Amino acid sequence: MPKPEIPSVLLAALLLLASACGPSDEGDGAGSSAPAAAAPESAPVATGHEGHAHARSERPLPAFGGSTFDGERVQAGDFLGQRLVVFFFSPDEAQARPAARALGAIAPLQGAHNFRILGVASGAATPRARSFVDEEKLDFTILNDAGKSIYRRFGLSVPAALLFVDAEGYIVGAMAAVAEGVEDPAAALEDRVREQLRLPSGAAPLLEPALGDFPKTPDFEASTLQGETLRLSSFDGRPVVLIFFLYTCPHCHHAMEFLRGQLPKMPEATRPQLVGVSISGTPSVVRRELESRGYDFFPVVSDPDGALRKQFGVIGGVPDILVLDKERRVRARTQGWRDDEDPPLMRMRLAKVAGETVPMLLRQAGYSGNEVCGVCHESEAATWRFTAHAGAFDTLVKHGDERDAECVSCHVVGFGQQGGYSMTSPTPWFEDVGCETCHGRGGPHLSPGRVAGNDYAAVCTTCHNPKHSLGFDYEDFLPKVSHAAMAHLLELPPAEKRARVAALGSTRKPLFRDAAIVGSDACQSCHEQEFATWEASPHGKAIHSLAADGKARDAECQACHTTALGKPGGMPEGADPAAHPDLARVGCESCHGPGGDHVGEGARREGTILSLGDKCDSCVILQICGVCHDEANDPGFEFAVQEKIDRQRHGTIEPSAERSAPEALAPLAERIAAVERAFGSGGR
């Protein structure tokens, strides 16, 4: 009996990214997400997390597998828990090389950004496929599909295709990885893949306003569809809307339809001039298409060799719309066209660049999003980019938590509110901790009185609570998100601005209050069961691995294998571990903080030590663990922190504040006093 043919499991996912058209006439270039596959009949590999408060709209990746060139058996399900890029390619096809180079460029980022690449080399003899992999220096797992069994099961018809799968095994995007009509197809594809995976850009974006900078466009001279010469500088002194488009692209048609209706409504003296750049097609064909649709109301030039696209950094999909001021500086750039979001936003941008009164087109029954706020509040929008709030949602994607409602609620705008972020129908423009998260829906315009006296403490602590934000102090935190406090950063050179944004999250503040270290033995009397569990764990024997390597007295290594190295009462740097057995291990105070104020006769128990049983593993505990378990010493730890914490979890949520300290702790008071006499009180 033949196997039933299942309708395309992948089709919906393949269309997810189809918000822009690519540079070829058929729309299947670097910016395209045209369908590239039909469904295999195998079972899905996804296993969604329990308790996630929504139904999945994406499809699970069908199960498949095979052997590598070295004979190792690999299944797609082996990668669950990490984001996955499945790269289908035909080694004998030249068009597969740009995609291979694009993925080769990002492969070194796999560990640090919690994703994996799985290649499927189809249709070539094994020696030829091996040669392709060696020539392109592909450093990721590749299945040998010489017989094209996987290729045929997926119904592929292109030389290279990509599927993007989230950590739960659901397909969240796809593209035919073939770039045509661009000078550097590998760079174009790499840019698209980085965008999909939310990876840092490989290079500074060309001609995009960012961080308070508005780059000036180059001048150009080109032939119009009618054979006349047009110079961009001929419009200097007047705003310009420059649109790169594909004449068969429906999104481009929608953008032109809007501009045809909106521009005549503006005063002629200040009205922006619309200029088009056709990225494909002969002038006669493009001219007939525009005339038939009534879009022949503005001058259009051809870009047959892609020179203008290169000059203006158009390497993705279209339409690509640049809004230029009178000095030819880029004040806004829109890539793609969203019928539900872009018309009001473009109306505001056109008025702004024309020097007209900007209409306040806020959503009266919902949230408006950062881009709308940023039209009028340019410096505030720029300084926001210097805050960790601006990358809040990306951190969830990186850790595979973008489906966890508890996590998402504090990383988006308007979660659970009318017109806010929805998990059933994700709205990308509401991702991250945006303007309206802090200032309210529509800001003071629609939410007057939300913040009294400019005191945002009550707003901040809705998310920065003890469970999710370790050591949060409003006064310390405020300058890190204050637009006024960061305004001086807008004067920095562009390269330094980008460096500051790239370094967000890499600096660490002291996690614990100052107090004397008392050692783990002091904890045993009140926390006997917890102590026993900890002592049997690797933390309790951390010095042993150093001793085995002859580094037991290496101060650099001791920092992560002993308790409180060099701190009052802690392990002395370079000391003989045998002389300090209680401190020569990763002790209780390494994770819970100094116990000097917690133990002893009459000490206030609660609030003087950090309880972790009620804390979020990712938000709080990782801050502590990550000091030592970082990318250099324990790659991938941050993406498995919950699993590793569960293995050695030894406490309870209930505090032990009511337990009475036995008489055995009485001598600690003298020890603490001695420590403070020797090292000072540390400003407690």
- Under 8 Å between Cβ of 575 and 552: no
Chain centroid to Cα 472, Å, comes to 23
Nearest C-alpha neighbor of 237 from the set 354, 147, 127, 317 = 354
Is residue 209 situated within a structural domain? no
Give me the residues paired with residue 68 across strands: 143
**Does residue 391 lie within any of the structural domains?**
yes
Calpha distance 206→226 (Å, rounded): 29
Residue of 480 and 7 predicted with greater confidence: 480
Which residue did the predictor score with more confidence, 403 or 602?
403
Q: 3-state class of 210 per DSSP?
A: strand
Does any domain span residue 216?
no
Residue found by looking up tokens 């009620």 in the block: 614
Task: Compute the distance between CA of residue 41 and CA of residue 226 in angstroms, rounded to an integer.
Answer: 53
Euclidean distance between CA atoms 128 and 150, whole angstroms: 18
My answer on whether 85 and 150 are in the same domain is: yes
Q: Are residues 123 and 45 in the same domain?
A: yes
pLDDT in tens, 113-158: 999 999 999 999 999 999 999 999 999 999 999 999 999 888 888 8
> Are residues 274 and 177 located together in one domain of the fold?
no
pLDDT the model gives residue 683 = 39
Residue 360: HSE in the Cβ half-sphere, 13 Å Cα cutoff: 7
**pLDDT at residue 61, rounded to an integer:** 92
Which of 204-213, 459-468, 483-492 is predicted most confidently?
A: 483-492
d(CA 396, CA 402): 5
Confirm whether 3 is domain-assigned: no
Higher pLDDT, 293 or 647: 293
Residue type present at position 664 = A
Is residue 512 situated within a structural domain?
Answer: no
Residue 5 binned pLDDT confidence (cut-offs 50, 70, 90) = very low
Statement to judge: residues 32 and 137 lie in one domain: yes
Mean pLDDT of 183-209: 86
CA distance 658 to 650: 19
d(CA 155, CA 418): 41
| Residue 666 and residue 596 share a domain | yes
pLDDT of 580 over the 60 cut: yes
For residue 593, the model assigns a pLDDT of 87
Give every CB contact of residue 310 below 8 A, 6+ residues apart in sequence.
183
Q: How far apart are the first and last CA of the chain?
A: 79
Does pLDDT of 268 surpass 80? Answer: yes
Q: 368 in a domain, yes or no?
A: no
Count of Cβ atoms closer than 10 Å to residue 475 Cβ:
7
Q: What percent of the chain has pLDDT over 70?
A: 85
How much is the pLDDT for 38?
Answer: 39
Show which of 502, 535, 561 is a domain's final residue.
502
Q: Is 530 found in the same domain as 459?
A: no
Q: Is residue 175 part of a domain?
A: yes
Query: Which of the four pLDDT bands, split at 50, 70 and 90, describes residue 609?
Result: confident
Nearest to 414, CA basis, from 391, 393, 389, 440: 440
Query: Which of 503, 465, 513 lies closest to 619 in space, CA to CA?
Result: 465
Q: What is the pLDDT of residue 58?
A: 73
Instruction: Give the residue from 327, 61, 83, 94 showing the smallest Cα distance to 216.
Output: 327
Query: Which element (helix H / strand E) includes 202?
Result: none
How high is the mean pLDDT of the chain?
Answer: 85
Measured CA to CA, the distance from residue 156 to residue 96 in angstroms comes to 13
Rounded average pLDDT over 504-525: 76
Q: Which residue has the higher pLDDT, 653 or 495?
A: 495
Distance, CA of 238 to CA of 354 (rounded, Å):
8
Q: What pLDDT is recorded for position 191? A: 87
The residue-averaged pLDDT of 526-532 equals 89
pLDDT of residue 675: 57
CB 119 within 8 A of CB 142: yes
Range of weakest confidence among 43-57, 172-186, 314-328, 515-529? 43-57
Question: How much is the pLDDT for 596?
Answer: 86
Q: Which of 531-535, 551-555, 661-665 has the lowest mean pLDDT?
A: 661-665
Say which residue, 657 or 340, is predicted with more confidence: 340
Alpha-carbon gap, residue 380 to 321, rounded angstroms? 23
Task: Specify burial of residue 454 (Cβ count, 10 A radius: 0-12, 13-18, 19+).
Answer: exposed
pLDDT: which is higher, 611 or 248:
248
Q: Which residue has the higher pLDDT, 411 or 660?
A: 411
Residues 672 and 525 in one domain: yes
- SS3 helix, strand, coil % of the chain, rounded to 5? 35, 10, 50
Round to whole Å and give the CA distance between 15 and 163.
Answer: 11
Q: Pick the closest to residue 115 from 147, 151, 140, 150 (CA basis).
A: 140
Token pair 């490989």: residue: 202
What's the confidence (pLDDT) of residue 678? 57
| pLDDT grade for 262, boundaries at 50, 70 and 90 | very high
The total number of structural domains that make up the chain: 4
Which is it for strands 300-302 and 65-67: parallel, antiparallel or unpaired? unpaired
Q: Report the pLDDT value the prediction gives residue 180, as an integer from 0 to 100.
A: 66
Are 301 and 388 members of one domain? no
Q: Determine the residue type at 95.
A: Q
Question: What's the domain range around 599?
Answer: 521-613+649-679
How much of the chain, in percent, has pLDDT values that exceed 90? 57
442-459 pLDDT, tens digit each:
999 999 988 878 889 999
- The answer to whether residue 195 scores a pLDDT higher than 70 is yes
- Nearest-angstrom CA–CA distance, 507 and 529: 35
Residues 243 and 330 in one domain: yes
Token pair of 336 as six digits: 């793609």
Asked whether the predicted pLDDT for residue 556 surpasses 70, the reply is: yes
Q: Choose among 387, 463, 412: nearest CA to 619.
A: 463
Range ranked top by mean pLDDT from 35-49, 427-441, 451-465: 427-441
**Same domain assignment for residues 52 and 187:** yes
Residue 84 scores a pLDDT above 70: yes
Decide if 370 is inside a domain. no
Q: Name the domain boundary from 359, 390, 419.
A: 359
With H, G, I as helix, E, B as strand and everything else as coil, classify residue 109.
helix
Question: The CATH number of the domain where 64 resides is what?
Answer: 3.40.30.10
Residues 542 and 671 in one domain: yes
pLDDT value for 463:
93
Q: Are residues 303 and 154 in the same domain?
A: no
pLDDT on residue 86: 97
